Amino acid sequence: MKKVAFNLLLLVAIVGLAFICYRSIMDPIEFEEQRGAREKDIIARLIDIRTAQIEYRNNHQGAYTDNFDTLIDYIKTAQMPIVLKVGELNDEQLERGLTEKKVLEMIAKAEKTGKWADVEKEGLRDFRRDTTWIALVDTIYGKGFNVDSLKYVPYSNGAQFELATSCDTTKSGSAQWLFEARTPFETYLTGINDQEMKNLISAQKKLGRYCGLKVGDVEQPNNNAGNWE
């Protein structure tokens, strides 16, 4: 009986040790797989934020915003021009100094006076540049995009990205605006494997890196790059 009991205990120990070895191998692998899947969606969201900030900057004297509501409202309401072009200037016309502006002025004058001789001589009677305005959100994201989702971190139960801006003066005296959007590992990795997450954070700190995902940098210009790029 003692020998049987000992063998059973030995078997249990062997199975337990095998399981521990198995988990020591699989835990990091499974963690990285789930981390990769989640970060793919978060990176996509950060890229969307970067796109929105660039559009905002283009229409606000180079400044970014540190307020998501302001950014989202701008993207929802802003419009951008689309120019429909009919007709092109050839090399000979360009060499003679014709420009699109001059041609449009000629056509405008002809429409007022009814004298089309100069326009027709250049073969530009059908030359047109028509501007229409379309919703900015449909242009940069496509139809059906939920702009309100920009502020929220996927897999976080409603947590929002941290959004910050800074402004410095360059040597030439002009303003240099920077922005940063980020979210720490704890916001979107908690619940997968907390020990593996702690190991990841520890490794990132030792390397002097931000413990999470971010795009842009408020400390130094980085061309609005993400820390995954």
pLDDT of 111: 87
3-state helix, strand, coil in the chain (%, to 5): 50, 20, 30
Summarize pLDDT for 17-26 with one digit per residue, the tens: 655 564 556 6
State whether 53 and 156 are in the same domain.
yes
- Residue ending a domain, choose from 138, 162, 188: 138
pLDDT, mean of residues 203-224: 95
Plot region of 28 (φ>0 → left; ψ -120 to 50 → alpha; else → beta): alpha
State whether 206 and 177 are in the same domain.
yes
In degrees, rounded to 5, the angle at the alpha carbon of residue 213 between the alpha carbons of residues 211 and 214 is 110
State whether 184 and 125 are in the same domain.
no
State whether 208 and 152 are in the same domain.
yes
State whether 150 and 123 are in the same domain.
no
State whether 146 and 45 are in the same domain.
yes
- Taking the C-alpha atoms of residue 16 and residue 9, their distance in angstroms, rounded to an integer, is 10
pTM value > 0.95? no
State whether 122 and 40 are in the same domain.
no
State whether 132 and 105 are in the same domain.
yes
Structure tokens at 33: 């797989």
State whether 91 and 70 are in the same domain.
no
Cα-based distances in Å from 28 to 25, 48, 76, 93:
6, 30, 42, 67
Q: What is the CA radius of gyration of the chain?
A: 30
Summarize pLDDT for 159-187 with one digit per residue, the tens: 999 999 999 887 777 889 999 999 999 99
- Whether 103 has a pLDDT exceeding 90, the answer reads no
Structural domain boundaries enclosing 119: 79-138
